[in-house]
Amino acid sequence: MSRVVKTVLIFLLGIVVIALALFIDRAVHSNGFIGIIGLILGWAVVCFFGLYRMN
């Protein structure tokens, strides 16, 4: 796969992680706690894989 395709997939993965966390947060009514963790995890995934792929 090309670099562009891999980069897009990494960003999509991060967005999916964030969306899933927000969905779970709404489902269990945890007052945003799971949503915040999901946002952090989602961006951690994007940043980690993004930096890993660039090298």
Going from N- to C-terminal start, the domains of the chain cover 3-54
Residue whose entry in the numeric block shows the structure tokens 């991060």:
14
pLDDT digits (tens, 9 = 90+) for 8-34: 887 888 888 878 887 887 888 767 777
State what percent of residues in the chain have pLDDT above 70. 91
State residue 1's pLDDT score: 66
Cβ–Cβ under 8 Å, residues 49 and 43: no
pTM over 0.85: no
State the first-to-last Cα distance of the chain, in angstroms, to the nearest integer: 16
